[in-house]
Structure 1
Amino acid sequence: MRPTSAATVSAIIVTHNRRDQLGRAVDSILSQTPRPHEVIIVDDGSTDGTPDYLRESYGDAVTVISRPHRGVSAARRCGVLAATGDWIAFLDSDDAWADGRLSVMARAVHEAPADTGCIFGDSKLVYKDRTSTVFSEAGWGETSGPQLVAEPMSSQWPYMVSLLPSSLVRREALIEAGCFQEDLESSEDLLVSFRIALRRPIVCVHDVVSIVDRTGRADSLSRRGQSSPDHFRARVLAFEETARVTGRREWRALHASAVRGWCIALARKGEACRAEALLQFKHAATLKAVLFLIFAFCGATPVRLWGYGARVRADFPQSLVPPPTPRPKTCGEGSSVRPAAEQLAGFRGK
């Protein structure tokens, strides 16, 4: 395989009533050298004058798509389908790209395998009282130059290091992966990232390429989505597909646990979850699954009580012991991340 050639990048921001925060995000894109091929901002039904603000402040430098409010998944899908670039670079409206992001990614594109699906960098995380980075929190050590992730799923679980604002995703790979499932109100990025990692090579760079807000704003997408049923439903879909493709029992166990998390989230909203509870048996029948099914058939209250039990808290997907895939700490012997050039010729045979 030959490395990829220079390619065009479409930057996409999705926003909803974020007029006061949006300028920082847009400015961080327009200040890049080189600039992206196009900047598309999808306004998802804002009522705070966001489209007028964008047109008055940025004119022809950005393309504004205004649409009725249908949620982040549908808005991102709209942006991808409207994009004309070979690669898509996302940014949330309350985050920012780091200086030099596109130049770092351009070098990585040149060195990556021709069928690479995603290139991601590190993210600076800004909390109320401190800052950190995704790579340091996930235990990924420092690397030099673009690295091909030998175990692509290690970039997705147990810690999703390939955050969407820090990724450059091939448009073709997004389309193959379903380009965001519109009926998911949260964690749609996790599902599409899993699907890409299952199908294509993944490359990482150590540079910090985005600045991500983790101050816990009430309107934050991540904060709103963590306790929602779709937070777990996306994981049900992701773990099911991973279990089917890899055939590994650890992913099957994660799938069953995600199903229980989904049911508990539904029960906390007072909704029945009998049909969903049956999905635990997709791959195997366990005593825990049978007991939980009995609780589910007794109604929402028993399922909520199951969720409150200390022994079940560890049953939630984000707290489970993950499949034993090696996590990259260094790029030396035994690491699951190695220079792209070293693996380029033999990647197809793995």
Structure 2
Amino acid sequence: MPKVSVIIPAYNAENTIVETIESIQKQTLSDFEVLVIDDGSKDKTIELVKQITDPRVQVFAYPNGGVSVARNRGIEQAKGEFIAFIDNDDLWTEDKLELQIAALEQHPEASAVYSWTVNMMDDGESISFVQGTESTVEGNIYPDLLLGNFIGSGSNILVRREVIDVVGGYEPNLAFSDWDFCLRVAAKFQFVVVPKPQILYRKIAGSMSSKLDAMEKEGLRALERAYQTAPPELQHLKNRSLAFLHRYLADLCLAHDTDAKGLDAAQKNLWQAVKLYPQILQERYAQKLIIKLLIKRLLPGNLSNSVIQGLKKQISCPDPRVEPKS
């Protein structure tokens, strides 16, 4: 029986799947199985995986069901003592599994572990630290996780097998299923953190405003689902959670969009955040976003970008949510 089952949901991943698998093969901990769950790909994903001669790598083909269904199908196939997930276009540092397993073995009271994340652009070269994911919260992380998904993405978390037996798998009909899954785990189990960047999250360039409505709807669904089961003593956090979600959406628009539609969406979400949680105006990060919006409104594109670059290093987000991958 392998120590770790690594589950990769894959859909039309011919451009990245081999590199993702190679990052797993390079792990300093070698006792693992890799379960590639092909989710009805129409490209050469299956063919490329089958060309890999490593007996630890297996591929299973299913009709398209979405990333959450693919992860759940991987869980059904998994034989490992621990279960980890990675998306078909992300990468791990070579010590990711070793250090995460070591952290759990050093903390037997914990059943789940996370690390820090860096962004990797499409070129695979341009890398930036994901501000806010450098959390050091351990033990009962549930209240903190309700306020924002500092775990970041589905390529991060590693859990003991019994976690799945208790909380089940991923919610198939929820775009923010990563956050939802981590919340359900955190409600029942303790976490430990590896305070080191180990996940390279590949960001896809493109407009955010076109995706914003869907992201807002799914983010609100994820929070509503979470607060339906949250204990009474945490219900007072709900407006703050909602405000941080809208602040995050505003940040995405300001980072990706420069047209009037994107700025309107950013302004709408910032205003919603303030209405829900007026104290957000006291936070430096929210103040910086408001300044950024004003600069983009008042100055021409090139000039506004130059001014914003001077502020960029000072803007950090304590609760980023990585946008769901389709």
Normalization by structure 2: what TM-score?
Answer: 0.68
Aligned AA (1:92):
D
Q: CA separation of 1:160/1:30 partners in 2, compared to 1, >3 Å: closer, same or farther?
A: same
Distance 1:76 1:132 in 2: 27
Q: Report the Cα offset of residue 156 of structure 1.
A: 5.0
Which among 157, 160, 181 is matched to residue 171 of structure 2? 181
Alignment of 1:1-350 (within 5 A): 8-58=3-53, 60-114=55-109, 116-127=110-121, 131-134=127-130, 136-138=131-133, 140=135, 148-155=138-145, 157-161=147-151, 163-184=153-174, 186-216=175-205, 227=215, 229-242=217-230, 245-253=231-239, 313-314=272-273, 321=280
Distance 2:108 2:157 in 1: 16
Asked if structure 2 preserves the Cα contact closer than 8 Å seen for 1:126 and 1:215, the reply is no
Asked if structure 2 preserves the Cα contact closer than 8 Å seen for 1:14 and 1:76, the reply is yes
Q: Report the Cα offset of residue 59 of structure 1.
A: 5.4
Please list the CA deviations of residues 266-316 of structure 1 after superposition, one character each: whole Å capped at 9, or x if unmatched.
xxxxxxxxxxxxxxxxxxxxxxxxxxxxxxxxxxxxxxx999857853279
Aligned AA (2:153):
L
Please list the CA deviations of residues 95-118 of structure 1 after superposition, one character each: whole Å capped at 9, or x if unmatched.
10112112212211210124x231
Q: Secondary structure at the match of 1:29?
A: helix
Distance 1:159 1:86 in 2: 25
Please list the CA deviations of residues 205-264 of structure 1 after superposition, one character each: whole Å capped at 9, or x if unmatched.
11222111124368x9xx78963633321221023222xx2433323436887999xxxx
Q: CA separation of 1:246/1:171 partners in 2, compared to 1, >3 Å: closer, same or farther?
A: farther
Please list the CA deviations of residues 51-105 of structure 1 after superposition, one character each: whole Å capped at 9, or x if unmatched.
1221123453311110000111111111112101121111111110112112212
Distance 1:176 1:318 in 2: 34
Aligned AA (1:76):
R
Distance 2:195 2:177 in 1: 25
Q: Secondary structure at the match of 1:180?
A: coil
Q: Report the Cα offset of residue 183 of structure 1.
A: 2.1
Asked if structure 2 preserves the Cα contact closer than 8 Å seen for 1:166 and 1:210, the reply is yes
Distance 1:160 1:250 in 2: 20
Number of aligned residue pairs: give it: 261
Aligned AA (1:101):
K
Distance 1:225 1:318 in 2: 21
Distance 2:268 2:212 in 1: 23
Distance 2:278 2:7 in 1: 32
Please list the CA deviations of residues 140-184 of structure 1 after superposition, one character each: whole Å capped at 9, or x if unmatched.
47xxxxx73354432452342353312212222133223111222
Q: Report the Cα offset of residue 24 of structure 1.
A: 0.8
Aligned to 1:3: none
Distance 1:252 1:56 in 2: 49
Q: CA separation of 1:316/1:163 partners in 2, compared to 1, >3 Å: closer, same or farther?
A: farther
Aligned AA (1:106):
I
Q: CA separation of 1:172/1:319 partners in 2, compared to 1, >3 Å: closer, same or farther?
A: farther
Asked if structure 2 preserves the Cα contact closer than 8 Å seen for 1:95 and 1:213, the reply is yes
Asked if structure 1 preserves the Cα contact closer than 8 Å seen for 2:39 and 2:65, the reply is yes
Q: What 5-or-longer segments of structure 1 have no aligned partner?
A: 1-6, 142-146, 261-304, 322-350
Distance 1:26 1:233 in 2: 32
Q: CA separation of 1:320/1:90 partners in 2, compared to 1, >3 Å: closer, same or farther?
A: farther
Q: CA separation of 1:307/1:224 partners in 2, compared to 1, >3 Å: closer, same or farther?
A: closer
Distance 2:75 2:276 in 1: 29
Aligned AA (1:40):
L
Normalization by structure 1: what TM-score?
Answer: 0.63
Distance 1:78 1:225 in 2: 29
Q: CA separation of 1:92/1:86 partners in 2, compared to 1, >3 Å: closer, same or farther?
A: same
Asked if structure 2 preserves the Cα contact closer than 8 Å seen for 1:240 and 1:251, the reply is no
Q: CA separation of 1:215/1:258 partners in 2, compared to 1, >3 Å: closer, same or farther?
A: closer
